[in-house]
Protein backbone atom coordinates (compact mmCIF):
# COMPACT_ATOMS: atom_id res chain seq x y z
CA UNK A 1 0.00 0.00 0.00
CA UNK A 2 1.45 3.39 -0.98
CA UNK A 3 1.93 6.21 1.59
CA UNK A 4 -0.89 8.20 -0.03
CA UNK A 5 -3.31 5.31 0.61
CA UNK A 6 -2.48 5.09 4.31
CA UNK A 7 -4.30 7.15 6.90
CA UNK A 8 -2.46 10.41 7.81
CA UNK A 9 -2.24 9.36 11.48
CA UNK A 10 -0.45 6.15 10.45
CA UNK A 11 2.21 8.13 8.58
CA UNK A 12 2.83 10.52 11.48
CA UNK A 13 2.86 7.67 13.99
CA UNK A 14 5.45 5.75 11.95
CA UNK A 15 7.75 8.76 11.61
CA UNK A 16 7.49 9.63 15.30
CA UNK A 17 8.17 6.03 16.28
CA UNK A 18 11.57 5.96 14.57
CA UNK A 19 12.73 9.32 15.96
CA UNK A 20 14.49 9.66 19.30
CA UNK A 21 14.07 13.43 19.24
CA UNK A 22 11.07 15.77 18.90
CA UNK A 23 9.97 16.41 15.30
CA UNK A 24 8.56 19.80 14.33
CA UNK A 25 5.42 20.20 12.25
CA UNK A 26 7.32 21.33 9.15
CA UNK A 27 9.50 18.19 9.24
CA UNK A 28 6.43 16.00 9.75
CA UNK A 29 4.73 17.65 6.75
CA UNK A 30 7.85 17.14 4.65
CA UNK A 31 8.21 13.47 5.61
CA UNK A 32 4.53 12.55 5.24
CA UNK A 33 3.43 14.83 2.39
CA UNK A 34 0.40 15.91 4.42
CA UNK A 35 -1.26 19.32 4.25
CA UNK A 36 -1.43 21.59 7.31
CA UNK A 37 -5.06 20.62 7.88
CA UNK A 38 -4.39 16.87 7.50
CA UNK A 39 -1.42 17.11 9.85
CA UNK A 40 -3.30 18.99 12.58
CA UNK A 41 -6.31 16.69 12.31
CA UNK A 42 -4.12 13.58 12.52
CA UNK A 43 -2.14 14.97 15.47
CA UNK A 44 -5.40 15.68 17.30
CA UNK A 45 -6.44 12.07 16.75
CA UNK A 46 -3.08 10.80 17.99
CA UNK A 47 -3.30 12.99 21.11
CA UNK A 48 -6.61 11.32 21.89
CA UNK A 49 -5.32 7.83 21.09
CA UNK A 50 -2.21 8.36 23.20
CA UNK A 51 -3.92 10.18 26.08
CA UNK A 52 -2.25 9.50 29.45
CA UNK A 53 -5.53 8.11 30.82
CA UNK A 54 -5.73 5.35 28.23
CA UNK A 55 -2.26 4.50 26.95
CA UNK A 56 1.19 3.52 28.15
CA UNK A 57 2.58 5.73 25.36
CA UNK A 58 1.85 9.46 25.21
CA UNK A 59 2.24 12.08 22.50
CA UNK A 60 4.23 14.97 24.02
CA UNK A 61 4.90 18.45 22.66
CA UNK A 62 8.43 19.38 23.71
CA UNK A 63 11.32 21.43 22.31
CA UNK A 64 9.07 22.82 19.59
CA UNK A 65 8.13 19.41 18.23
CA UNK A 66 6.21 16.18 18.80
CA UNK A 67 7.57 13.07 20.50
CA UNK A 68 6.17 9.67 21.42
CA UNK A 69 7.30 8.68 24.90
CA UNK A 70 6.30 6.45 27.77
CA UNK A 71 3.46 7.53 30.04
CA UNK A 72 4.84 8.99 33.30
CA UNK A 73 2.22 6.94 35.16
CA UNK A 74 4.11 3.82 34.03
CA UNK A 75 7.49 5.12 35.19
CA UNK A 76 7.94 2.61 38.02
CA UNK A 77 7.73 -0.37 35.63
CA UNK A 78 9.93 1.33 33.05
CA UNK A 79 12.55 2.23 35.67
CA UNK A 80 12.64 -1.33 37.01
CA UNK A 81 13.24 -2.57 33.47
CA UNK A 82 15.95 0.02 32.73
CA UNK A 83 17.70 0.03 36.11
CA UNK A 84 20.74 -1.96 34.99
CA UNK A 85 21.25 0.06 31.82
CA UNK A 86 20.58 3.46 33.39
CA UNK A 87 23.42 5.96 32.87
CA UNK A 88 25.08 7.40 35.93
CA UNK A 89 23.28 10.45 37.35
CA UNK A 90 24.63 13.84 36.32
CA UNK A 91 27.27 15.27 38.64
CA UNK A 92 27.19 18.74 40.13
CA UNK A 93 29.87 19.73 37.61
CA UNK A 94 27.67 18.51 34.74
CA UNK A 95 24.75 20.58 36.04
CA UNK A 96 27.03 23.63 36.20
CA UNK A 97 28.21 23.14 32.61
CA UNK A 98 24.63 22.69 31.37
CA UNK A 99 23.59 25.85 33.23
CA UNK A 100 26.44 27.76 31.54
CA UNK A 101 25.36 26.55 28.10
CA UNK A 102 21.67 27.20 28.80
CA UNK A 103 21.95 30.68 30.30
CA UNK A 104 25.17 32.07 28.85
CA UNK A 105 25.59 30.05 25.68
CA UNK A 106 26.53 29.33 23.19
CA UNK A 107 29.99 29.26 24.79
CA UNK A 108 33.36 27.76 23.92
CA UNK A 109 34.93 25.08 26.12
CA UNK A 110 37.41 27.68 27.35
CA UNK A 111 34.66 30.12 28.30
CA UNK A 112 32.79 27.42 30.25
CA UNK A 113 36.02 26.62 32.14
CA UNK A 114 36.60 30.31 32.91
CA UNK A 115 33.06 30.74 34.25
CA UNK A 116 33.41 27.66 36.48
CA UNK A 117 37.02 28.40 37.44
CA UNK A 118 38.13 24.85 36.62
CA UNK A 119 38.92 22.84 33.48
CA UNK A 120 35.64 21.46 32.17
CA UNK A 121 36.80 19.47 29.12
CA UNK A 122 36.05 16.01 30.56
CA UNK A 123 32.59 17.06 31.74
CA UNK A 124 31.81 18.65 28.37
CA UNK A 125 32.93 15.48 26.53
CA UNK A 126 30.63 13.37 28.71
CA UNK A 127 27.65 15.70 28.11
CA UNK A 128 28.25 15.62 24.34
CA UNK A 129 28.34 11.79 24.46
CA UNK A 130 25.02 11.84 26.35
CA UNK A 131 23.51 14.16 23.70
CA UNK A 132 22.86 16.94 26.21
CA UNK A 133 25.40 19.36 24.67
CA UNK A 134 26.17 19.93 21.01
CA UNK A 135 28.47 22.09 18.91
CA UNK A 136 26.29 24.82 17.41
CA UNK A 137 28.88 26.89 15.55
CA UNK A 138 32.33 28.40 15.97
CA UNK A 139 33.76 31.54 17.55
CA UNK A 140 35.48 33.00 14.48
CA UNK A 141 36.81 35.95 16.50
CA UNK A 142 38.92 33.66 18.71
CA UNK A 143 42.22 32.08 17.66
CA UNK A 144 41.58 28.72 16.00
CA UNK A 145 37.82 29.38 15.80
CA UNK A 146 36.88 27.11 18.74
CA UNK A 147 33.51 25.37 18.72
CA UNK A 148 30.55 26.98 20.46
CA UNK A 149 28.45 24.71 22.67
CA UNK A 150 24.70 24.80 23.35
CA UNK A 151 22.09 22.55 24.91
CA UNK A 152 20.33 20.00 22.71
CA UNK A 153 16.69 19.22 22.02
CA UNK A 154 17.28 16.03 24.04
CA UNK A 155 18.17 18.21 27.03
CA UNK A 156 14.97 20.22 26.60
CA UNK A 157 12.93 17.03 26.24
CA UNK A 158 14.53 15.52 29.36
CA UNK A 159 13.62 18.60 31.39
CA UNK A 160 10.09 18.76 29.94
CA UNK A 161 10.74 22.22 28.48
CA UNK A 162 9.44 23.26 25.09
CA UNK A 163 12.16 25.92 24.70
CA UNK A 164 14.88 27.75 26.65
CA UNK A 165 12.31 30.40 27.53
CA UNK A 166 10.59 27.90 29.86
CA UNK A 167 13.46 28.23 32.34
CA UNK A 168 13.45 30.99 34.97
CA UNK A 169 15.45 34.13 34.09
CA UNK A 170 19.07 34.06 35.21
CA UNK A 171 18.74 37.23 37.27
CA UNK A 172 16.03 35.51 39.34
CA UNK A 173 18.50 32.74 40.31
CA UNK A 174 21.67 34.68 41.14
CA UNK A 175 22.47 38.08 42.56
CA UNK A 176 23.53 40.97 40.36
CA UNK A 177 26.96 40.82 42.00
CA UNK A 178 27.40 37.14 41.03
CA UNK A 179 26.22 37.87 37.50
CA UNK A 180 28.67 40.77 37.19
CA UNK A 181 31.54 38.47 38.24
CA UNK A 182 30.56 35.95 35.57
CA UNK A 183 30.34 38.71 32.95
CA UNK A 184 33.83 39.94 33.92
CA UNK A 185 35.25 36.44 33.41
CA UNK A 186 33.57 36.16 30.02
CA UNK A 187 34.58 39.69 28.98
CA UNK A 188 38.21 38.73 29.57
CA UNK A 189 37.73 36.06 26.90
CA UNK A 190 35.80 38.32 24.52
CA UNK A 191 32.48 36.57 25.20
CA UNK A 192 29.39 38.44 26.37
CA UNK A 193 26.89 36.94 28.80
CA UNK A 194 23.16 37.43 28.52
CA UNK A 195 20.81 37.87 31.42
CA UNK A 196 18.35 35.14 30.48
CA UNK A 197 17.77 32.40 27.90
CA UNK A 198 17.12 33.54 24.38
What DSSP line would sit under 140-161, residue for residue? Answer: TTSTT-PEEEEE-HHHHHHHT-
pLDDT of residue 30: 92
pLDDT of residue 196: 40
Domains and CATH numbers, the chain: 3-81 (1.10.10.10), 92-187 (1.10.10.10)
pLDDT of residue 16: 92
**Sign of the torsion formed by the C-alpha atoms of 143, 153, 89 and 129:** negative
pLDDT of residue 42: 93
> Can you give the pTM of this predicted structure?
0.53
d(CA 149, CA 36): 34
pLDDT of residue 172: 81
pLDDT tens column, 95-128 = 999 998 998 889 999 889 988 888 999 999 999 9
Beta bridge partners of 61: 66
Task: Give 65-68's long-range contacts (Cβ < 8 A, gap of 24+).
Answer: 65/21, 65/22, 65/23, 65/24, 65/25, 65/27, 65/153, 66/12, 66/16, 66/22, 66/23, 66/24, 66/25, 66/28, 67/16, 67/19, 67/21, 67/22, 67/23, 67/157, 68/13, 68/16, 68/17
pLDDT of residue 1: 42
* Least confident window among 4-8, 67-71, 118-122: 4-8
Q: Provide the percentage of residues in the chain whose pLDDT is more than 90.
A: 40
Which band of pLDDT confidence, cut at 50, 70 and 90, is reported for residue 81?
Answer: confident
Region 118-145: mean pLDDT is 90
* Least confident window among 124-128, 137-141, 149-153: 137-141
pLDDT at 4 over 50: no
Q: Which of 104, 97, 102, 98 is nearest to 192 (CA)?
A: 104
Amino acid sequence: MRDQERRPAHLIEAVLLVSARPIGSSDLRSATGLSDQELESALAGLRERYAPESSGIVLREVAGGHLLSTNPACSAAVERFRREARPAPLSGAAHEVLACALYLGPLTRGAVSRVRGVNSDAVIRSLIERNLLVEVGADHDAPGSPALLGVTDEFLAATGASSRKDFPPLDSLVTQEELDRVRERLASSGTAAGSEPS
